[in-house]
């Protein structure tokens, strides 16, 4: 009886040992097929993941290499993304204003000064003495203005464009020939705008980012071509009417001051020209604007379209 019992117990142990040895493979197969999220399944999956030392070493080496490559790529990407983000953030931080549909200067955020004006001068560059006189007054009042230039004038006197640039005033695109663009074909409008972009960049190293169509008439094609060249399209919201004045007209300074102040409002985009009487009246105009509590917006703080 004792011998039989011992034999039975021995046989049972052998069977139990065999069953235990096959359980991990069976459990692993079951988990791979069913992906059951249970304690027993997880346990079997852990057991299934154990492989031979050689296989494990090879896979680890391959994974380490791939992982390192992927990590470096991710790090490069992250670094690149961080740099781009920082640059974008800096650019965004500098762009405190935008132009609305009426071409007024509008703050991007609450708390940004609203009582500002944008100063602009069209139809240059004309004469060194007049340009210097205008910029001397701008410097006196710590102001910047956009000088919208015509390509044919730049071609005749590139040194005048360089003068404006060297005196650190922004340069805008006012087309090549100062013609009405709204009724022109797209190829002609492109030529009028893009030729100015090129000549200004060739002389100063920087292409304009502001575009004002002659006579305020660019049309849909003018807007399209300006946008394609990363230019902010604008006309104006306050006209000085200096272009209507005659050389022998009396009291031009007072007339100009009246024209501007009667239309004045926060965000005014003021149109002036490179004209002798405008240069003469500028100090009085800026002084009066300051007395009314206005500040001069830096054109570089205005949002412009992204270049393609």
Name the residue among 304, 308, 244, 290 with its Cα closest to residue 119. Answer: 290
Question: Can 139 be counted among the known catalytic residues?
Answer: no
Is the Cβ–Cβ distance between 266 and 114 less than 8 Å?
yes
Question: Can 273 be counted among the known catalytic residues?
Answer: yes
How far apart CA 266 and CA 258 sit, in angstroms, is 17
For helices 2-34 and 39-48, give the axis angle rounded to 10 degrees: 90
How far apart CA 121 and CA 128 sit, in angstroms, is 14
How far apart CA 300 and CA 118 sit, in angstroms, is 11
Q: Which of 122, 123, 174, 242 is catalytic?
A: 122
Q: Which of 64, 265, 273, 298 is catalytic?
A: 273
* DSSP single-letter state for residue 215: G
Is the Cβ–Cβ distance between 271 and 120 less than 8 Å?
yes
Catalytic positions are 122, 273
């Amino acid at each position: 009886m004792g011998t039989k019992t011992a034999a039975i117990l021995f046989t049972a142990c052998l069977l139990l040992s065999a069953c235990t040895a096959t359980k991990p493979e069976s459990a692993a197969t079951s988990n791979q097929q069913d992906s059951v999220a249970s304690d027993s399944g997880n346990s079997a999956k852990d057991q299934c993941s154990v492989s031979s030392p050689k296989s494990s070493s090879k896979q680890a080496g391959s994974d380490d290499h791939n992982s390192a490559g992927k990590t470096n790529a991710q790090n490069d990407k992250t670094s690149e993304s961080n740099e781009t983000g920082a640059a974008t953030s800096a650019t965004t931080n500098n762009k405190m204003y935008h132009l609305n549909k009426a071409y007024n200067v509008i703050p991007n955020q609450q708390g940004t000064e609203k009582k500002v004006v944008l100063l602009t001068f069209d139809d240059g560059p004309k004469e060194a003495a007049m340009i210097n006189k205008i910029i001397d007054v701008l410097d006196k009042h710590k102001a910047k203005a956009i000088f919208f230039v015509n390509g044919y004038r730049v071609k005749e006197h590139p040194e005048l464009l360089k003068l404006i640039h060297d005196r650190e005033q922004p340069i805008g695109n006012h087309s090549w020939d100062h013609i009405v663009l709204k009724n022109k074909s797209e190829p002609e409008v492109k030529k009028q705008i893009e030729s100015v972009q090129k000549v200004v960049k060739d002389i100063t190293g920087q292409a304009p980012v502001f575009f004002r169509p002659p006579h305020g008439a660019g049309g849909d094609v003018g807007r399209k071509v300006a946008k394609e060249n990363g230019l902010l399209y604008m006309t104006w919201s306050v006209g000085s009417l200096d272009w209507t004045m005659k050389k022998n007209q009396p009291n031009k300074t007072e007339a100009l001051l009246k024209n501007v102040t009667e239309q004045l409002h926060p965000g005014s985009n003021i149109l002036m020209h490179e004209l002798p009487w405008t240069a003469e009246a500028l100090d009085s105009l800026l002084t009066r604007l300051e007395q009314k509590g206005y500040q001069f917006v830096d054109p570089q703080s205005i949002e412009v379209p992204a270049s393609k």
